[in-house]
Amino acid sequence: MLKNHINLKAVLYAAIMVAAMWLGYLLQQLGWFSGCSGAIIPLSPYGLKGIFLSPFLHGSLEHIFGNSVPVFVLIFLLYQFYPFIARQILFLGWILTGFLVWLLPPIDIYTGELNHVCIIGASGIVYVLAFFIFFSGVFRWNMKFLTVSMVVALYYGSLIWGVLPEELFSQLPEPSRVSWQSHLSGATIGILMAFIFRKSGERKVKYIWEFPNYYSEKDDKLWQEYKENHPEDFLELPYKKKENPWEHLDEIRKNQ
């Protein structure tokens, strides 16, 4: 029964992405990626490769655990409900978000000084998918997609606060290590793609009875009920038999 409703490819792709993230974390622990290797370093040519590699790298177990569940859930929802455009959304969102993060100067919001930062983690992808799925349902105004949007808003609505620097909400003893630039970039790209792709893939089905001039007797239940309860009103009505002039030929001749 579930196989008829759940896209197994959606589960597979989500699992592959999470597995790749954990493989990247394992390679980090083995010393394959150390320091800023594989990270996005804003405005540095050396940091461009981080656009592709940074989602697989994480700073701690807490960091990768925090990203694994939303990445799995959101990729599953993307491929389950947007299978025709899921690949474009995932990879375009991934690349564009990473590039936008690379373009944003890492400015300290209090001192205005440029900081040398190395940005890793899959949170940018989380924000791309969460904001795409939510706003795609809104822009399409389709009941099925709106329902998915509400589910995302219910579980991940608090993500909205992540697009702002953490220092604005609490006094921190040291600068926050959370990359609000990744969150803001992902949210922006997600909303833009939801708008651009709003007419792509599955569309809202418009049934014939939704057209203003449509009328079908079969869909008029009151009329059908009346016909069932009053069959005598629909018997064939008596009519006058059409006369045949050849039967009155003699009479016609006499009158002439």
Over the stretch 137-186, which tens digit does the pLDDT of each residue have?
888 777 677 777 777 776 666 677 666 666 666 666 555 667 778 888 88
3-state per-residue secondary structure call for the chain = CHHHCCCHHHHHHHHHHHHHHHHHHHHHHCCCCCCCCCCECCCCHHHCCHHHHHHHCCCCHHHHHHHHHHHHHHHHHHHHHCCCCHHHHHHHHHHHHHHHHHHCCCECCCCCCECCCCECCCHHHHHHHHHHHHHHHHHHCCHHHHHHHHHHHHHHHHHHHHHCCHHHCCCCCCCCCCCHHHHHHHHHHHHHHHHHCCCCCCCCCCCHHHCCCCCCHHHCHHHHHHHHHCHHHHCCCCCCCCCCHHHHHHHHHHHC
pLDDT grade for 102, boundaries at 50, 70 and 90: confident
Residue 183 CA to residue 105 CA, distance in Å, equals 14
Task: Identify the pLDDT of residue 62.
Answer: 87
pLDDT grade for 36, boundaries at 50, 70 and 90: confident
Taken in order 190, 196, 199, 200, the sign of the CA dihedral is: negative
User: Tell me: the pLDDT tens digits for 123-144?
Assistant: 888 889 988 888 888 887 776 7
Range with top average pLDDT, 91-105, 189-203, 239-253: 91-105
Q: Which domains does the chain have, with CATH numbers?
A: 2-196 (1.20.1540.10), 214-255 (no CATH)
Q: What is the rounded average pLDDT for all residues in the chain?
A: 78
Task: Identify the pLDDT of residue 90.
Answer: 92
Residue 74 CA to residue 12 CA, distance in Å, equals 13
Give the global pTM: 0.70
Name, in order, each residue with C-beta under 8 angstroms of 114's C-beta and a sequence gap of 6 or more. 105, 106, 107, 108
How many C-beta atoms lie closer than 10 Å to residue 67's C-beta?
A: 20
pLDDT grade for 2, boundaries at 50, 70 and 90: very low
Residue 103 CA to residue 110 CA, distance in Å, equals 20
